[in-house]
Amino acid sequence: MPIDWSGIMRKTGIGFILVICLTLLNPLLPTLNAKMTIYSPQDMIKNSDHILIGIIKKRKYEENYREVTISVETVLKGVLTQKEIVLSRVYRKDIINLSGVRFEFPKKGSKVMLLLKNYPNIGLSLTYANSICLMNNNKVSLYEGTEFVGNWKTTDYEKTYQTFYDKAVVIY
């Protein structure tokens, strides 16, 4: 009696692929999290070339491209002479973004505090995760903040940024 190899191959092939996928994905997630650089709230302020207060004037969100226009009200750190800045990000589907930096901004008209860095070959962009804060009655709150489990909570960033803001505003 001949053996029906097609049925056996189909069953073992699906099982084999499933085993490979689970094997590859299981260690991948902790590895990706472990490789993400984590900056303390103090390092975020120190590593930012510019910290500013501004108003979101325009948001242009497309599938592979985002652009945000901000009118600059006050520069708390660094030197920016522009009255308006444009931040943009191109999203590539062929690579995985491991930086942890989300490019999500509050709605038009929102008052924000931004932590920015001048990157070579890119220009002005968000310093890292937790670089966007909402300002409401001189109160700093992270916009869609990221907690780093075992390290810093969003409230740690908010307290540090609030202290920085309070000290910087006294100077201006």
Has this prediction a pTM greater than 0.75? no
pLDDT at residue 9 greater than cutoff 70: no
* 19 and 92 share one domain: no
C-alpha angle with apex 31: 24 to 96, nearest 5 degrees? 80
* 55 and 115 share one domain: yes
* Number of CB atoms found within 10 A of residue 160's CB: 19
Mean of all residue pLDDT scores within the chain: 80
Q: With bands split at pLDDT 50, 70 and 90, how would you rate the model's confidence at 86?
A: very high
* 46 and 109 share one domain: yes
* 26 and 63 share one domain: no
- What contacts 136, CB < 8 A, 6 or more positions away? 111
* 46 and 114 share one domain: yes
pLDDT at residue 82 greater than cutoff 70: yes
C-alpha angle with apex 166: 163 to 169, nearest 5 degrees? 145
- Supply the range of the domain harboring residue 99: 41-171
d(CA 118, CA 47): 10
- The mean pLDDT value for 91-118 works out to 78
Please count the CA atoms within 13 angstroms of the CA of 81 that sit on its side-chain side. 0
In this predicted structure, what is the pLDDT of residue 77?
96
* 24 and 93 share one domain: no
User: 157: which DSSP letter?
Assistant: H
Q: With bands split at pLDDT 50, 70 and 90, how would you rate the model's confidence at 70?
A: very high
pLDDT at residue 32 greater than cutoff 70: no
